Amino acid sequence: MAARIRPYHIIVFGASGFTGRFVVEEVARACPAGPGGTLRWAIAGRSRDRLEKVLLQAAQALSKPELRSVEVIVADVAQPESLAIMCKQGVVVLNCVGPYRFYGEPVVKACIENGAHYIDICGEPQFLEGMQLKYHSKAQEKRVYVIGSCGFDSIPADMGILYTRDQFKGTLTAVESFLTVSTGPEGGCGHEATWQSAIFGFADSASLRSLRKKFGHKPLPVVGAPIKKRYYVYHVYKRLRQYSIPFMGSDPSVVRRTQRCMHQEHQQAPVQYAAYVGIGGVFSVAKTFFAGLMFWLMTKFSIGRSLLIQFPEVFSFGLFSKAGPSKKQMEGTSFCLSFFGEGYSNGRDPSQGKPDAAITTQIKGPEPGYVATPITMVQAAITLLNEPQCLPETGGVYTPGSAFARTTLIERLNKHGVQFCVTNARKL
């Protein structure tokens, strides 16, 4: 494990980026700067001027003038020596520089080589799984923890499955999650960086399939009754009162990796998982279908990808923009992630008959991309720093669930506005 005698416990890399600025503010809330602070932290990026401006803006927004004295480190993914200097100064590096498929690996490599733990907020399965394949053994040797997808992608889903399993009285065998996002009068949108990650991910989906074959994994065993197969557009009236579609983010990939780790390392029965997102009524279904078809076709050609990147607001129907959401939009936005689990009560054999028990849990929180994500990322870092005895025995490349299963991360999130709760438990 990285020594705690380094100058900084936390370094926010990419602090001047759109998401990085919000992460800086969240670190400032959780880890006060100055002599009274228990955790020392710094920010890093390519431009000292931009980084100093971020500190000034954070100091004004939070009414904390002491933030202007936070240390600034100049580091660039194109300059490995600068990354090495940065990583040698921190116990944990929070990497906010994306798209990760282009800029993530040099930071992972520098952290491992220089003994700094690594946390990111990546929602790109190809990068996350690629880093596991390439660097897990090296990270183990160095006793460094590399923990990806610690933002809204995918701590709520991954930790939510573990929370649901722990609250279930028996053997949980299958969970469906349904995400709904509510916006205020101003509406809501995401930043173009997330849009770009989706574009390149869809365009290079064949590489992800090829990458997965290199692991040589056998399919996870199906415990209990197989999970229900839903139509592409599913009307969940009794549950959410709206139509839903399969969630196309990284959650299923991350949860599957966690369940594989739990099964192989701890002999726990893997939980089957399917993720959906609510999209509203019939008009929303038609709009989503048209937009999805157009997006899929355009990602297949370079000119189409260029147009998607150049005009995110047009082709996403306002869901993404170059400017990102406004403060009012973020204040009016919230999310609810509902988990509907089934399994077998204590004493029942999962190989015999249908499930006889069900549980419903929920995670509720603020705007997911730039409010909840900084909260989950920073609390993950603080958990790593304060509870090393609860992490896996060796370093390595981990999902949030496989890294934090035995920690108090969920309790920490509950105290910071990301609320986990059980809403129903019953016999079938």
Task: Give residue-wise pLDDT tens across range 341-377.
Answer: 999 999 899 988 899 999 999 999 999 999 999 999 9
Tell me how many domains the chain contains: 2
Contact 316, 323 (CB under 8 A): no
My answer on whether 211 and 249 are in the same domain is: yes
User: How do strand 357-366 and strand 334-345 relate by DSSP bridges?
Assistant: antiparallel
Mean pLDDT confidence for 134-146: 97
Give the C-alpha separation, 275 to 244, whole Å. 10
What is the per-residue pLDDT across 49-91, written as a single tens digit (0 to 9) for each?
999 999 999 999 999 999 999 999 999 999 999 999 999 999 9
Give the C-alpha separation, 66 to 33, whole Å. 7
My answer on whether 331 and 360 are in the same domain is: yes
My answer on whether 269 and 229 are in the same domain is: yes
**Does 243 reside within a domain?**
yes
Share of the chain residues as helix, strand and coil, in percent rounded to the nearest 5: 45, 20, 35
My answer on whether 135 and 120 are in the same domain is: yes
My answer on whether 359 and 291 are in the same domain is: yes
Query: Which amino acid belongs to residue 178?
Result: F
My answer on whether 280 and 390 are in the same domain is: no
**Does 23 reside within a domain?**
yes
My answer on whether 229 and 80 are in the same domain is: no
**Does 106 reside within a domain?**
yes
My answer on whether 335 and 379 are in the same domain is: no
3-state secondary structure of 331: helix
* 240 or 407: which leads in pLDDT: 407
**Does 317 reside within a domain?**
yes
My answer on whether 299 and 172 are in the same domain is: yes
**Does 270 reside within a domain?**
yes
CATH for 18: 3.40.50.720
> Hey, how many other C-beta atoms are within 10 angstroms of the C-beta on 240?
18
pLDDT-based confidence at residue 94 (cuts at 50, 70, 90): very high
Sheet strands (E) in 236-296? 243-246, 272-280
pLDDT-based confidence at residue 4 (cuts at 50, 70, 90): low
Percentage of residues of the chain with pLDDT beyond 70: 97
The Cα angle at residue 253 between residues 148 and 91, in degrees rounded to 5:
10
- Here the tokens at position 60 are 């004004």
Full domain range(s) for residue 169: 155-368+412-427
**Does 2 reside within a domain?**
no
My answer on whether 200 and 72 are in the same domain is: no
**Does 167 reside within a domain?**
yes
Q: Could you tell me the pTM of the whole model?
A: 0.95
**Does 3 reside within a domain?**
no
pLDDT-based confidence at residue 3 (cuts at 50, 70, 90): very low
- 56 alpha-carbon distance from chain centroid: 28
My answer on whether 124 and 168 are in the same domain is: no
Burial class (CB in 10 A: 0-12, 13-18, 19+), 408: middle
My answer on whether 237 and 381 are in the same domain is: no
Taking CA atoms, 14 is separated from 20, 45, 50, 313, in Å, by 6, 5, 10, 24
Torsion of CA 237, 176, 335, 118, to 10 degrees: -170
CATH for 204: 3.30.360
